[in-house]
Structure 1
């Protein structure tokens, strides 16, 4: 059992303001995985105070970029050395299948390397000269840190979400308070251990597991200059309103209800080979999951049958079993939420192809959901419009390509999406018409050099690479 009885505040393990530890239970069988201290508003106040002092009076913002890059490269190396341990802890506390947590470790390296490269290539200060008939103007343009950053992340992919924020924020010279979900107290304790080793100055980083009330105290704090949030669209709207009232900088990576468009010439064998990874990764608890499958009317039943066969072939069970593809939902209330959506789909008149609201046989003790596929779905149905965040797919028929694009865009969200076709250039032409932040062609993985983020209710701002680094910088112009 893992125990973290202190809070990581300003780079030091510190006694929490309250003595109680939270029990972290396995989503698989509700056994005790570990215990951890939880932050309260008083702990947030301490973390913000040391971050404010570290930024206003400390050395980090004025440390040469090359030295900041070296520290974050060391963090990346420390994480790589403990990748197996990190994956195992996330599987234990989150219920994410072991294949997923292990496969995600090299992706974390690529994500970090893209940020490091962006920082190396960035012109942190440059001189611009313009000439007009009246005068020659010379300007020094600087990229500077914003200040104190509150980074707030969800529970579904804790290392990816946290590093996507703290690496660029620290590279830019900011001080950071990372607020994590209580469910991730153990894996984020491991992250804090790595941060303690990598060489950051005192006060520069804190890692606080805390509930929503404490999170709101953090983002509302007058000494926080920027909020970086990943989570639900509802919570994002609340955070955006707080940021608007206080004129804080804010970036939001929110929900999705992404569409995978299967064009008439698509190779169904390739589509089904990639379907589980595009549509059901991380037990379906993924904002980028392409849970609306759009199939041409001419091949509709063929696609429905192919999706059914794939979903029924996936092993559901103990997430630590290497053969398991889909593990449990993280909490009992999340399990019930997904089951309620399945009941809603049945009531709405969708055809239940496989699965259903029943718990998988033999897995009643955990937070399990039977992977479910609906056909004959109208895009206006709730199961097609609302983010379920579980292993539930809907297959929607379209008449022609214009209809497919219309359906794909008929959503309040715009985070991800996919196009499947034998003709890559034609697929690219369709992708250009989809109002979403990221589109994959034939199941290609998302790259970390390009921007990642959402249109519409899927968020504000971008992460990854240069665009993600730029989110944590202010521009200053000095005219000479």
Structure 2
């Protein structure tokens, strides 16, 4: 295996970044520095931690134009949308900083004569964050900032597709005056990543990625009695009831399916539409999908960029071909999108009807610009189909009857339930999944709890 990381841009197949992987000596040094720095950092006030994190955000957003350009070249997001990730990074970091003081305060319990009792929230130690390429800043900030606010130190391993993201975060923290060792990054091979998980200095692992990747994390951490937070993807459904605002439902679900070329763990991958409005929904959705402009990510006119690599696009093409062979109807001719071609990362959006759960495209994560639309006759049928999945990250219902929509949500196995929206993380809410979508939690006050451990104080005042 090469000792150098190489990032190939999906825009034109050129090598955009090369970096040396960390040596064993560099890894050992980083772990030791993180462990030593944490002993000091945990003693700093929460107010000071908040101030540093806010200064880091200031430094980060000051470079939003260059950061957006790098995102486009590394993973293919259209430049017209790439700066939105910087805004999302700021929103989440600022929110978590804003709630840190109250969320990390000791928990008091009712008075008991002669005793003082309370529970503190103690930092865990060194938190190892393993981040993916598809939303390289949004996924990483979910763990990095809360971990540092909670008094931990962070070691970041970013995707080989987006290595500059780790470096930009490091630069922003350095400008903010964060003490040495509190945040570090390492460019690591898969084998070295496993070894870091097993390192005695690491006390918690936050991983975002595939189900096999999550299984690797748990195997590597087994027997160490440390926490693991795993966000592992989804096959997220939307249900459009007969009483839904049709135009809003179409616009929202189509965007949820095709934004970022469908490369979102919480993107819409299957849509169930009541039979009364099914045909009208499909007609409007197809018309909207045909308006996308497939092209180079650095073209300001592009609204649908390339997938991260040609093999990922071909995987989705195989799902589509297989579904059509099984009786599905494809509503968009890829020939209408000039850059779409087998073996290319550039892939046209696709809408399939006549689908069912015997088809991989309705059960297996696609992670690309395709969505199946299935007709249903009742809420009960929709609920059954939405729950018929190994995943459970998010689910959406579109309806003007909010009470009924919420009752449906109460029956769905999911981490987040939306009504009349989709594909969004609100930092005030816990971001979590069920089934093969993972375990643990980021964001919200609950996310901070997952990056601390409780310590109880039971003090007898008199003897």
Q: Same fold (TM over 0.5)?
A: yes
Alpha-carbon distance change, 467 to 33 in structure 1, aligned in 2, over 3 angstroms: same
CA contact (8 A) 1:355 1:373 kept: no
In structure 2, how many angstroms separate the alpha carbons of the residues matched to 1:350 and 1:160? Answer: 35
In structure 2, how many angstroms separate the alpha carbons of the residues matched to 1:442 and 1:34? Answer: 40
In structure 1, how many angstroms separate the alpha carbons of the residues matched to 2:322 and 2:115? Answer: 64
State the partner residue of 1:98.
79
Q: Which one of 193, 200, 213 corresponds to residue 235 of structure 1?
A: 213
State the partner residue of 1:148.
126
State the partner residue of 1:424.
402
State the partner residue of 1:76.
57
Q: Give the match's secondary structure for 1:149.
A: strand
CA contact (8 A) 2:120 2:455 kept: yes
Deviation for aligned residue 1:458: 0.7
State the partner residue of 2:379.
401
CA contact (8 A) 1:22 1:38 kept: yes
Q: Does structure 1 residue 182 correspond to structure 2 residue 182? A: no
Superposed, 1:163-178 pairs within 5 Å as: 163-178=141-156
Q: Which one of 33, 38, 44 corresponds to residue 27 of structure 2?
A: 44
Runs ≥4 residues deviating over 4 A? 18-21, 363-366
In structure 1, how many angstroms separate the alpha carbons of the residues matched to 2:322 and 2:76? Answer: 25
State the partner residue of 2:102.
121
State the partner residue of 1:469.
448
Deviation for aligned residue 1:329: 1.1
CA contact (8 A) 2:121 2:454 kept: yes
Q: Residue by residue, what CA displacement relative to the aligned partner does 1:399-430 show, whole Å, maximum 9, x if unpaired? A: 20011111111111110121111233332232
Superposed, 1:438-453 pairs within 5 Å as: 438-443=416-421, 445-453=424-432
Q: Residue by residue, what CA displacement relative to the aligned partner does 1:78-124 show, whole Å, maximum 9, x if unpaired? A: 11211122111101111011233122322222111221122022252
Structure 1, 421-430 or 250-259: larger mean CA deviation: 421-430
CA contact (8 A) 2:238 2:253 kept: no
In structure 1, how many angstroms separate the alpha carbons of the residues matched to 2:115 and 2:67? Answer: 53
Q: Which one of 354, 361, 372 corresponds to residue 338 of structure 2?
A: 361
In structure 2, how many angstroms separate the alpha carbons of the residues matched to 1:314 and 1:19? Answer: 39
Q: Which one of 201, 210, 216 corresponds to residue 223 of structure 1?
A: 201
Q: Does structure 1 residue 392 correspond to structure 2 residue 370? A: yes
Superposed, 1:125-144 pairs within 5 Å as: 125-131=106-112, 136-144=114-122
The alignment's C-alpha RMSD in Å is 2.1
Deviation for aligned residue 1:366: 5.1
State the partner residue of 1:8.
none
Deviation for aligned residue 1:363: 5.5
In structure 1, how many angstroms separate the alpha carbons of the residues matched to 2:437 and 2:294? Answer: 29
- Extract unaligned runs of 5+ from structure 2: none
Q: Give the match's secondary structure for 1:33.
A: strand
State the partner residue of 2:17.
34
Q: Which one of 373, 378, 384 corresponds to residue 351 of structure 2?
A: 373
Q: Which one of 299, 304, 307 corresponds to residue 282 of structure 2?
A: 304
Q: Does structure 1 residue 319 correspond to structure 2 residue 297? A: yes
CA contact (8 A) 2:108 2:117 kept: yes
- Extract unaligned runs of 5+ from structure 1: 1-17
CA contact (8 A) 1:440 1:446 kept: no
In structure 2, how many angstroms separate the alpha carbons of the residues matched to 1:352 and 1:433? Answer: 31
Alpha-carbon distance change, 231 to 362 in structure 1, aligned in 2, over 3 angstroms: closer
In structure 2, how many angstroms separate the alpha carbons of the residues matched to 1:359 and 1:62? Answer: 61
In structure 2, how many angstroms separate the alpha carbons of the residues matched to 1:380 and 1:148? Answer: 44
Alpha-carbon distance change, 119 to 461 in structure 1, aligned in 2, over 3 angstroms: same
Output the TM-score relative to the length of structure 2: 0.93
